[in-house]
Structure 1
């Protein structure tokens, strides 16, 4: 590891060292795995949490102690789980297990460790939860029986966030920050709600419990187009904007766009497509509100709806964030300069990984996604040295000397995406080989939630009807009992009204898909109104 660190430092100061690009044949699984191993070694050279006196699970930071915030540690371990699954290299598994357990906040099991709660966002917590859920889906080595299990940790995160669903302002949604005192508490952003949607969709598929699917549908509908009753973070052209403030009833939408938000929504939609198809087959009869229904060939059933959303969002995402077929963080990676924060420097890897899994689990979008990911990976390879040290820009055809853990995760994510497409492991469920034990009541006591107001959910939020009081303790006990009661139920589906924006607006037999490749205008950020701890996230302007 010391040698790898020296190589990274040497390349940063002596770009001539990088004349030779990464030696990888992107058509060969063996060659991709070999290159991934080299890049993973350099990535893990940034991690010191297993050294004496250091904190397990986190990258060096937060500033001024180091460049990285707590959430990026969670993203790192998700990357390493995907790396293990794609390559069978278990070198880093002990560190991954130690890290995900150490930061889990046992016994609450909700990734709200006391050292970080003062600056905790729903998106921060959610990244750790998504990594734990990935471990369950890919049958990653289970922790010791005395430790919290992967599925339990994911459910703990989901439960705490479901408890924070706030209908008092903007009709629903999660706030960005969790503590009331934080600058950003009054901002409801798309990334927090994307992660909540994503986890709900994936938990639905893994457990077979449609309660999670109902939460996913509610979350999507809240985020969606205004003409369909949402706040308009997703517009009619399938752009996904950053967020808005509760003081304006979420009408002052910040139109900045970030790649990982789109990818997380897209992945969740892919899981909903898969779940709805398996749980509402053509000709199958299921109960909705106690009423038997039957889906017939050619109708606008649930899977057709999610396929429409998938196709539209996939086309738009590839058009915005892959100009010329190469991944670009358009909000901060400008033609003449890079003005990305440390957080933003890591988004490309998540996008490649999440989109590849979307293509794997939802074949209707595979031909939209994978050709572009392959082109983008070729650009990535040219941005790396022969020693596997990678820069940030992938569209220049050369190494730019801009290195870091995020850049290494980006490169590794691009290679992982190709391996997923070349026979990667399909995410399992608890009925197709999943072994992780869950706890539908995980998450801890209400006092752990650090929320402000919790409004009642109205009748239109049928799936949340059990939460009928603003008294926090009673609300928490009811929602946990409700989740536990449904965990072993057989397949069922939700009322179509919870899924469709407006049934009359759907055109029978046609999918409203548009392919738009227009250029985005650059976005600048004013962080003058933020406290210093929030400058890490200019993607959420507060």
Structure 2
């Protein structure tokens, strides 16, 4: 267990005095995996200053949405290892950034994308399913419901006025990207709806999940090849697509499919089964390619150290490995296939954690190289922690007090429901100052192309 604050700085300084070494990882030993997860989680949390005087709990400077991703990392670590060191920081930060119960806080709402808000909703839903004790004014479940409500009931989120539906990337009409409907925003709302359905058994969430999926199938997803377009633009009636292989697009939808498959039967389950196994096979083949020994690989970032446009890309592997881990739990028929590539990847990632810097043993981003790629930071630490944490799955056996998979309201979940959460918040109807890109999760497209006009069928690399 590690302690934040002054002791963190002292420990970091001590580590910098010694040459960094690769993390020693023995996948046959539970304690070895725990140690790797402990080290990388501490490394990620050492970048967090929200628990210090004068700082805002939950906020990461210039990267507001990444606070939710950091807390997801800490919650995965807690669930799979049992180490609750960071739980209080998570509880305080998740509550502090809640706004009026829907993750539209006034100090960030002027540049919120629906994907940014969506990630905070996923974090709240994860806290709900893992039974993190509720804290403060809002329950975790109500916060997840607040995000769902604000995104499905306003044209600034789900928009029926163009292209028959779909979630916009941005929430204000003066924002660069407002005319785009992107995969990650729709994938996160789809996933959140599916998870709310499984947790509450409320059919409204199932209906919305199906609605989002059907729209995405028409405009974003090719259900023959399972290629997912990164974005479409309303100015082209959502017929012209921007492509970019970003793994979190695929895995955000895959996670939602796993929840729906797990919680349905009969003809309804059959619909989700076809999509689930089709998208799973494509995801594993593309992002864990045989040519790199089935090590996790991010096509838009890993091969291009000077062209990997921002730190968001370095989080994609963490999202994907963690969501695949949960998919393996929810869908036993995919367990062996998924755990096989996650274990191979963990060995490569451990070899890539040899960099100096904050905390020592800094992890690189391009794991397929099995060496440090000189791209350290909070994001590679989060991704490595996510990966090591889910590699604990084979060692965890459910007991009367510990359930391996996500809880529901009928299997021990205790968070309080508020189906009307967020319905009275008008904050995203107020026009505020123009945005910058630093605090956004980002769509995987070059939005300037849309502004200038672009040729149908054009593909391009990821850029916020």
Q: Identify the TM-score tier after normalising by the shorter chain.
A: 0.7 to 0.9
Displacement of 1:423 in angstroms is: 2.1
Secondary structure, counterpart of 1:343 in structure 2:
helix
Say if 1:4 and 1:242 are closer, same or farther in 2 by CA, change over 3 A.
Answer: farther
| 2:279 is the alignment partner of 1:313 | yes
Equivalent residue number for residue 324 of structure 2: 355
Displacement of 1:258 in angstroms is: 0.8
Normalising by structure 1, report the TM-score. 0.74
Equivalent residue number for residue 311 of structure 2: 342
Say whether the 8 Å CA contact 1:332–1:338 is kept in structure 2. Answer: yes
Alignment equivalent of 2:195, drawn from 197, 202, 207: 202
Larger radius of gyration: 1
Displacement of 1:27 in angstroms is: 1.8
| 2:139 is the alignment partner of 1:173 | no
CA offsets 1:437-484 (integer angstroms, 9 cap, x no match): 0100001425234399xxxxxxxxxxxxxxxxxxxxxxxxxxxxxxxx
Equivalent residue number for residue 533 of structure 1: 437
Say if 1:100 and 1:365 are closer, same or farther in 2 by CA, change over 3 A.
Answer: same
Which runs of at least 4 in structure 1 moved beyond 4 Å after TM superposition? 335-338
Equivalent residue number for residue 451 of structure 2: none
Q: Distance in 2 between matches of 1:341 and 1:49?
A: 22
Alignment equivalent of 1:217, drawn from 206, 210, 222: 210
Q: Distance in 1 between matches of 2:181 and 2:237?
A: 10
Q: Distance in 2 between matches of 1:3 and 1:403?
A: 20
Displacement of 1:328 in angstroms is: 1.4
Say whether the 8 Å CA contact 2:103–2:143 is kept in structure 1. Answer: yes
Equivalent residue number for residue 156 of structure 1: 146
| 2:227 is the alignment partner of 1:248 | no
Equivalent residue number for residue 409 of structure 1: 382
Displacement of 1:56 in angstroms is: 0.8
Equivalent residue number for residue 415 of structure 2: 436
Alignment equivalent of 1:109, drawn from 69, 86, 101: 101
Q: Distance in 1 between matches of 2:59 and 2:349?
A: 26
Q: Distance in 2 between matches of 1:196 and 1:4?
A: 40
Q: Distance in 2 between matches of 1:57 and 1:252?
A: 37
Say whether the 8 Å CA contact 1:205–1:272 is kept in structure 2. Answer: yes
Equivalent residue number for residue 114 of structure 2: 122
Say if 1:7 and 1:43 are closer, same or farther in 2 by CA, change over 3 A.
Answer: farther
Q: Distance in 2 between matches of 1:256 and 1:385?
A: 30
Displacement of 1:338 in angstroms is: 5.1
Q: Distance in 2 between matches of 1:127 and 1:172?
A: 21
Q: Distance in 2 between matches of 1:248 and 1:338?
A: 28
Which structure has more relative contact order (CA 8 Å, sep 6+)? It is: 2
Give the alignment of 1:379-390 within 5 angstroms. 379-385=348-354, 387-390=360-363
Give the alignment of 1:69-148 within 5 angstroms. 69-105=63-99, 108-144=100-136, 147-148=137-138
Secondary structure, counterpart of 1:333 in structure 2:
coil
Q: Distance in 2 between matches of 1:305 and 1:264?
A: 18
Equivalent residue number for residue 460 of structure 1: none
Structure 1: any 5+ residue segments left out of the alignment? 63-68, 225-229, 278-294, 296-300, 453-529
Say if 1:427 and 1:244 are closer, same or farther in 2 by CA, change over 3 A.
Answer: same
